[in-house]
């Protein structure tokens, strides 16, 4: 009797999970982030390998040499899709972000994409003029505390020097520079403690 596609898939899943964890980690390290996120649903064992801090550190370290190009498309009154091209895999990926952002946005919000690092994506709400950070790995979304410079829309953020840095274990730092009284000031937000620090141009530590 011939095997069904479901039986073949189940057999392949079991066979994959029987591999040593070191080999599974090595296989996963060669995949793009969207593929890894999909594999978390294969089994608890694979999800555990992906969630392991050693694997996360290794993947984040490797991903620094991998480049992404993103194109954000918001369909009027329908949905929002982030298209991403990864040079490591040579493929395009689609990210449906409207449902993930839904817990923190209001009807009629105009959301725009700013920047990304590893599995963290930064958006700005032009309606409320505030920043939203989305973690694709955990599907958690949070609002970043308001800038000391006041509410800002997309065009204001894009005029400033800014950098998003994933620091592992679902945390990140968001750094941006702007002129305050004609002097450059560095602002650093850490998701780990939710604190927004200010570093003056004189070089004093945050």
- Average of per-residue pLDDT values in the chain: 78
Domain identity same for 21 and 97 = no
> Residue 169 is part of which domain span?
68-199
What value does the mean pLDDT take over residues 151-166? 83
* Domain end point (choices 63, 82, 100): 63
pTM of the model: 0.69
pLDDT tops 70 at residue 185: yes
Q: What is the pLDDT of residue 41?
A: 75
Domain identity same for 93 and 18 = no
Q: What is the pLDDT of residue 55?
A: 82
Assess contact for 107 and 77: CB atoms under 8 A: no
pLDDT tops 80 at residue 10: no
Q: Which two tokens stand for residue 178?
A: 């702007």
Q: Model confidence at 104, in pLDDT bands (50, 70, 90)? A: confident
Domain count, the chain: 2
Domain identity same for 147 and 86 = yes
Q: Model confidence at 77, in pLDDT bands (50, 70, 90)? A: low
């Amino acid at each position: 009797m011939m095997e069904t596609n479901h039986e073949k898939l189940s057999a392949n899943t079991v066979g994959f999970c029987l591999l040593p964890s070191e080999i599974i980690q090595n296989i996963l390290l060669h995949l793009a982030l969207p593929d890894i996120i999909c594999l978390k649903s294969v089994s608890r064992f694979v999800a555990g390998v992906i969630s392991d801090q050693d694997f996360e550190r290794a993947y984040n370290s490797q991903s620094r040499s991998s480049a992404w190009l993103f194109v954000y498309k918001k369909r009027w009154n329908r949905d929002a899709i982030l298209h991403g091209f990864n040079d490591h895999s040579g493929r395009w990926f689609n990210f449906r972000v409207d449902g993930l952002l839904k817990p923190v946005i209001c009807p009629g919000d105009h959301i725009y994409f700013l920047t990304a690092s590893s599995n963290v994506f930064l958006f700005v709400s032009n309606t409320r003029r505030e920043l939203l950070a989305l973690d694709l790995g955990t599907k958690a979304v949070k609002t970043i505390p308001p800038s000391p410079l006041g509410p800002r829309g997309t065009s204001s953020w894009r005029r400033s020097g800014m950098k998003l840095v994933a620091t592992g274990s679902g945390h990140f730092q968001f750094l941006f520079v702007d002129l305050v009284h004609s002097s450059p000031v560095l602002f650093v937000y850490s998701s780990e403690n939710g604190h927004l620090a200010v570093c003056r141009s004189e070089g004093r530590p945050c």
